[in-house]
């Protein structure tokens, strides 16, 4: 990994292509973008402390910068928990946000003094009572919004069952310190947060009536990758919801409000460089290319693993021609299919794309591809993973 100063991400990509001694894909991390995202968050959601969802991108270079920026971290396993502590995160800045934890993970969290953790079922309460009764518990609600990827089937309890869970927690003398929810991934409607904040207010009222002293509200993730109108609109609605249901001078007093952004923090901070390793052209009788199929050195078992569960718009790619001096290049758009490098016939990156004709040895630069890429890679077929090769700072 090399630090570059004074280059844009695209310029760093061109530099990396010239310098490369192998044919592996690689990432460029824009440290400036991480700083910018955290600052924009603080400007728009001053009451809400971000706890970055480590599962979104667990690269150590990303995590080191975020620790330096002083934000919190949402972890889902002991490996993530230990990683953050080893990088300097304070245990108080970590929430173990998995409602169904392995017993050994609960014990390790106890030994490392990580107090905050979530639950959504009775059996988890009995487990925690036996293994870590001092834990600070957040009751995870099921509050799915209108989003691309709903989470409520696997995680969270319907609010109508909350009083029963709270009663069991009270009987077990456990410490319920707050409520959490997650309205889903890539939320397009700020009203989902507003409604969930309102439901959380009701649940916290029930908890207080039972003698608990909840002081934490975790509003989860689902925030957009880009800091545009969608994010600012959602932030405004969230702030309105917090002011209505949890004003600092209200009956609950000042609440600690946290969130679990993932793709918002890291999505636009990384760019990917892939190479065309092979191609197949379908031509008409007069020799014109009717369809092009290009085989990249990265695919759905690598950095494009997110394509197995969500679609993305790849219109912002940039072609970088390493071999353009050797042939006549046309920028005319050709119907294109992009394949990954493995022997799996389902390793499809994109179809029905319009791209200029490419040659073996050309590169494709993919901006804003930092979320759910590095963290979900595999070495299927023995192919290399893409790693962060360059970190760029001021430019």
Q: What is the pLDDT of residues 364-380, one digit of tens each?
A: 999 999 999 999 999 99
Least confident of 83-97, 119-133, 169-183, 316-330: 316-330
Q: How confident is the model at residue 184 (pLDDT cuts 50, 70, 90)?
A: confident
pLDDT tier for residue 329 given thresholds of 50, 70 and 90? low
Of 56, 100, 162, 343, the active-site residue reads 343
- For every residue of 203-224, DSSP letters joined together read HHHHHHHTT----EEE------
- CA of residue 225 relative to chain centroid, distance: 9
pLDDT given at position 124: 98
Task: Using a pLDDT cut of 90, give the percent of the chain over it.
Answer: 83
**Helix segments in the chain, DSSP class H:** 9-19, 31-44, 60-68, 78-86, 103-111, 122-131, 162-171, 191-209, 229-245, 263-266
| Element counts in the chain: helices (H) and strands (E) | 10, 17
With a cut of 80, say whether residue 117 has pLDDT above it: yes
Q: Are strands 363-366 and 270-283 parallel, antiparallel or unpaired?
A: antiparallel
- The mean pLDDT value of the chain amounts to 93
- Structure confidence at residue 215 (pLDDT): 98
pTM: 0.94
pLDDT at 309: 86
Mean pLDDT of 182-189: 83
Grade residue 287 by pLDDT with cuts at 50, 70 and 90: confident
- Mean pLDDT calculated for residue range 347-351: 96
Other beta carbons within 10 angstroms of residue 3's beta carbon come to 11
Residues 346, 305 contacting (CB under 8 angstroms)? no
pLDDT of residue 326: 46
Whose CA is closest to 59, among 41, 80, 36, 77?
80
Please state the rounded mean pLDDT for residues 307-316. Answer: 88
- Dihedral sign for Cα 102, 107, 108, 110, please: positive
Task: Judge whether residue 322 has pLDDT over 80.
Answer: no
Q: What contacts 132, CB < 8 A, 6 or more positions away? A: 106, 107, 109, 110, 117
* 137-151, 168-182, 201-215, 296-310: segment of lowest average pLDDT: 137-151
What is the spatial distance between Cα 333 and Cα 357, in angstroms, rounded to a whole number?
7
Could you tell me if 300 and 348 are in contact, meaning their C-beta atoms sit under 8 angstroms apart? yes
- Cβ atoms 365, 10 nearer than 8 A: yes
Nearest CA to 240 out of 390, 373, 48, 380 is that of 48
Q: What is the pLDDT of residue 307?
A: 94
| Cα 35 from Cα 39, distance rounded (Å) | 6
Per-residue pLDDT at 40 exceeds 50: yes
Looking at residues 57-79, what average pLDDT do you find? 98
pLDDT of residue 179: 98
CB atoms within 10 A of CB 377: 18
What number is the average pLDDT over the span 203-220?
Answer: 98
pLDDT of residue 288: 85
Is 56 assigned a catalytic role? no
pLDDT confidence of residue 330: 63
Band (327; pLDDT cuts 50, 70, 90): very low
Query: Which percentage of the chain shows pLDDT scores above 70?
Result: 95
Mean per-residue pLDDT, 67-75: 98
151 pLDDT tier (thresholds 50, 70, 90): low
| 12-25 confidence digits (pLDDT tens) | 999 999 999 899 99
What single string gives the DSSP state of each residue in 87-136? TT--GGGEEE--SS--HHHHHHHHHTT--EEEE-SHHHHHHHHHH-TT-E
pLDDT per residue over 377-386, tens digit each? 999 999 999 9
pLDDT bracket for residue 289 (50, 70, 90): confident
The pLDDT of residue 231 is above 70: yes
Question: What span, in angstroms and rounded, lies between the C-alpha atoms of 329 and 266?
Answer: 35
**Residue 147, pLDDT above cutoff 80:** no
Question: Cα-Cα-Cα-Cα dihedral of 196, 198, 203, 205, to 10°?
Answer: 160
């Amino acid at each position: 990994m090399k630090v570059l100063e004074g280059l844009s991400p695209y310029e760093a990509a061109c530099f990396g292509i010239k310098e490369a001694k192998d044919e592996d894909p690689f990432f460029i991390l824009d440290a400036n973008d991480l700083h910018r995202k955290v600052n924009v968050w603080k400007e728009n959601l001053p009451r809400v402390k971000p706890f970055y969802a480590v599962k979104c991108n667990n690269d150590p270079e990303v995590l080191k910068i975020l620790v330096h920026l002083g934000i919190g971290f949402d972890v889902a396993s002991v490996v993530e928990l230990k990683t953050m502590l080893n990088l300097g995160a304070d245990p108080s800045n970590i929430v173990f946000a998995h409602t169904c934890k392995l017993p050994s993970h609960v014990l390790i969290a106890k030994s490392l003094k990580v107090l905050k953790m979530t639950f959504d079922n009775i059996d988890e309460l009995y487990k925690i009572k036996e293994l870590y009764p001092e834990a600070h518990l957040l009751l995870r609600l099921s509050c799915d919004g209108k989003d691309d990827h709903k989470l409520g089937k696997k995680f969270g309890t319907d609010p109508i069952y909350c009083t029963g869970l709270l009663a069991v927690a009270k009987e077990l003398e456990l410490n319920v310190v707050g409520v959490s929810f997650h309205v889903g991934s890539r939320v397009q409607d700020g009203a989902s947060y507003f409604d969930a904040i309102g439901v959380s207010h009701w649940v916290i009222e029930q908890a207080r009536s039972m003698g608990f002293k909840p002081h934490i509200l975790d509003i989860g993730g689902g925030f957009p990758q880009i800091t545009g109108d969608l994010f600012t609109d959602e932030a405004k609605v969230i702030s309105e919801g917090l002011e209505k249901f949890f004003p600092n001078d209200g009956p609950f007093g000042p609440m600690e409000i946290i969130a679990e952004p993932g793709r918002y923090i890291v999505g636009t901070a990384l760019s990917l460089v892939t190479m065309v390793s092979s191609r197949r052209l379908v031509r008409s009788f007069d020799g014109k290319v009717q369809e092009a199929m290009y085989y990249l050195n990265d695919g759905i078992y690598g950095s494009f693993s997110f394509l197995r569960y969500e679609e993305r718009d790849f219109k912002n790619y940039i072609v970088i021609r390493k071999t353009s001096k050797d042939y006549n290049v046309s920028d005319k758009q050709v119907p294109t299919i992009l394949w990954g490098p493995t022997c799996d016939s389902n390793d499809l990156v994109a179809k029905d794309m319009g791209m200029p004709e490419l040659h073996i040895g050309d590169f494709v630069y993919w901006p804003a591809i930092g979320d759910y890429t590095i963290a979900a890679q595999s070495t299927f077929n023995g192919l290399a993973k893409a790693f962060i090769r360059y970190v760029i700072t001021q430019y």
